[in-house]
Amino acid sequence: MKALFRALRFLISYLVSGVVVYLSGYGNLMEDVMPDVATRTFLLSTLVIAVIVILIWEMYLGFRNKINDLTKRIEELEQNK
């Protein structure tokens, strides 16, 4: 189940990065370039942005879990006092 959520997060980040690259004016930049090179460049740049976003997202989720665990442990220690 965890792998499914990671795959879903990657798919979301890939789609969002594709939309961002397209809306950033990618079509105007690639008007005079061969279509297959333009497509390959679009897909690879979208992939690079998606990997960066997914790494940041995974780090955020990992740190959030650690912070929640530490908060619970501190609350337990305060209650035991």
Task: Write the DSSP string, 56-73.
Answer: HHHHHHHHHHHHHHHHHH
- Look at residue 30 in the predicted model and tell me its pLDDT: 81
- Look at residue 52 in the predicted model and tell me its pLDDT: 96
For the chain, the farthest-separated pair of C-alpha atoms sits apart, in whole angstroms, at 72
- Report d(CA 2, CA 66) in Å as an integer: 17
- Look at residue 8 in the predicted model and tell me its pLDDT: 95
**pLDDT tens digit sequence for 2-45:** 899 999 999 999 999 999 999 998 878 788 888 888 889 999 99
58-77 mean pLDDT: 95
Which residues lie closer than 8 Å to 58 by C-beta, 6 or more apart? 6, 9
pTM: 0.79
- Look at residue 75 in the predicted model and tell me its pLDDT: 95
